[in-house]
Structure 1
Amino acid sequence: MNIHVPAQRPAPDQAAAPAAPAPEAVAPGWGRVLRVTVARASLAMVVALVIWSVLPLLAGWTPRVILSGSMEPRIHVGDIVVTRTVPGASVTKGQVITVKDPDHPAKTRTHRVLRRASDGTIVTKGDANPQADSSHISNENVLGLGVVRVPYVGRPAYWMAEQNWLALGATTLFLGWCMVTVLPGSRKPEDTDGDDQNGPSGVTRRYARSRRAAATVAVAAMVVGAATGPAEAAFKRVAANPASVWSAAASFGGYSDSVLADSPQFYWRLGESSGTSAADAKNGRTGQVTGTYTWGKSGAIARQSSETALGVDGGYVNQPTSLSSGTAFSVETWLKTTRSTGGGLVSLITGTGPERSLYMGADGKVRFGRNGTALVTSTTALNDGSWHHVVYTNAGSGSVRAKLYVDGALVAQSATGVTATTSGNWRAGQAQWSGNWPGTPDQYFRGDLDEVAVYGTTLTAQRVTAHYAS
């Protein structure tokens, strides 16, 4: 019998086995479509703004970050203003210019041209400020003319100045999410078996690298926003806005701490709401208020809690206890007035009248003098209706003894200072003059006073600037 054995089919070659069919692609849902759309739109806006901020550098223009609100509503905090160099003599009324701040030599100011003064200098003003800047600008101090405003890109610099790490971190995370969302292959594959670089594990590794790259790009975008252009310049006044043109403070609550850190002999905050007493925040040397005065005026430190000032119009604050004052001392106050009569600001009154006095002349300029002689005089008038910080310091020795600071900047100095120790009663708002003092001041200062302090030491320039900056 013949047995027929059918030929067996050869075993399949495992190496040549066809790859398993790829899983069926899953159509993206509306949720992913929406996420991708939002991410792409956000990134497109950020990239466009960054390009507009950086591209002008190719033309030699300078982008500058705005860190305060003195030019609102046209220019906001976090905007970038791009300036181009122009001759100072060519700028005209209404143009926005960036200049070297005459009161803070290391900083800049970006304000609008208001007019030309009679001496040819430029009068500037922040759009949000009620008054023009007290310090005028010479043509050679004009750094550039504003030509482009790019919104929002400088917000990281503002947040860094404010130490708002929450906003900075949240924005970084959002940009990172946008990058990860729009990158190809951002949906992780289901099958992660295999070791081939081109297989699923390779895709997974490329996916991980994409996420790291996205995070890097997001951080880079934040760095561009934080570093574009110089973020300088001091706000010219504490008026309608809480900060200065470039340098914004998170809070003004630290001003009193700065004063107290320098151990004043007395410190009248003048924040009372009623009564005839001005409390001393340091040593209990209460001042007595008399004459015509008004409590509760709007204070100099606008964002400090419970901050009010004392309005005087024939009134003053007197220290009833006689104090000794040597050759090393400092006198500090904030003032605001529009009057052209001048008057005593902070004076040491002896039996023969004011022996030493910080006062305003009828011309609006602030002086410090003794026995009818002015030692130093401010360069500009301060009776412009805005708050000004004024400090006089006297050194017991050295080649320069007398120094006068206005709004944190040194404006006048003299080798001649007070050279003798005397005793008397300090008084704010009045000085009963004996004889003719330079500037022909009235005896009464008529305006608002705030934060009056007298020290038995010579404040350094750094401490004066720290008081004003805080």
Structure 2
Amino acid sequence: MPNRTATRPCVGDAPRLLLAVAARTVLWSVLLVAVWAALPAAFGWQVTTVASDSMAPGIRAGDVVAAMPVDAEAVTPGRVLLVDDPDHEERLRLHRLERIEQDGALRLRGDANAEADRTPVAPTAVHGVGVLRFPGIGLPTVWIRSGAWTSVALAAAVAAVLAVLARADRDIVAGRPCRRCGTPRWDLHTRALTPVGVVRPRSTSLPIVAALAATTIVLSTMAAAGFSGTTNSASSLRSQTFGCFHDPAPGAVLAWDFADKGDRRVTDSSGTGADGRFIGDGTRTIGSCADNPHASFGTTGSAETWAVTDTAVSAPNAFTIEVWFRTTNTDGGRLFGFGSDRNAASTYRDRHLYIDSAGRLRFGVEGSGTQFKFTLGSADVVTDDVWHHAVGTFQARSMTLWLDGVQQGARSDAVTLRQYDGYWRAGRQTLAGWPDGAGYGFTGDVDTVRVYDDVLDASTIAAHHAAGR
């Protein structure tokens, strides 16, 4: 008769069991992601490992990208293309198509590069359009190619540790008595005698059940991520579809191009992590990446919409804020600025650009101590359904407002500003107490929002205006 009794659970069995299941889950997850990344090749897609950060922040070195073969008409500006590298034989290049030259050649550019690629690419050199990204799964390949043997050794050591931990419950599964205290365990292998006519369900090992459940969850997660088209780039186990082109923003601490189509996310392309999210009915334009998507507020009948950063920062004492906007609404509203809260109304709000009750552009900051509100206004009305470029700069005793590359005014009486932690936001914000403050919700379009932690000079502002949004 097999032994199926135990006086008491062996001390330490539960942690050992959980540790082994967790280690096996990690190992199986990595293996399954690797298989999942290679699967598109079975359907004729090109799978490649990214070797550089030229497409950062969306695509990093070590990511595996699957490119789907497409017809020539599908190769449009804004698409991420996998092509034969025109400058290096037997290499591939994964860059975004910036434009099609008059002779039909393709001019590409990496998202992290300030200039387009030097050499154009022939349409026949295109292998496909990047569709899926598998973050980090190709890092070992990149390390080996670059000779980063320390990283390779560390990864191998981690894998070895996980392999050892995955077997930490082998005595429990085998039903052996505890080696330290001699306490017997359940015998999971010997079949118990069962009276004739009685059906006894077969026991199943808890680790096996847990591992199967974890594997099922991982497979379900990856399947949903691969085909939903709205996956989260923050998940290390999920693939990701590509958004539109993000313009480089040298020197900026916040750069919003509103190019994450089909999502509520607002990606910061400055590299400082100033990502945000749409609240309310804020939307982006519908169309191809070549249409230069932008944020549109209040177009669904409600002006109570805004986009706001996820993380609070300290209010700057020297800065430049820059935004392109277009509106026909004469009710005014806040374009972009700083506030103490992410909700509809902030306790403190300043360092902002807004449209006043007369339809003119204003730049305002709030002084410390008396909280006097310093503002500058434009000479012309800006509610004319034309894209305008607005810039406000501030440092101690120097405050300026620019509209379409032309300085609208300056003042030197603002020295120190109210200090508080808060969030940058575009769209809705209360203007109570501000000179000629009108409606709280801006109705119109906003694009190419930038924040700098220094003051841009006149030539730089003029160059930004000339470059367009």
- Flag whether TM exceeds 0.5 (same fold): no
TM-score normalized by structure 1? 0.41
Larger Rg: 1
TM-score normalized by structure 2? 0.41
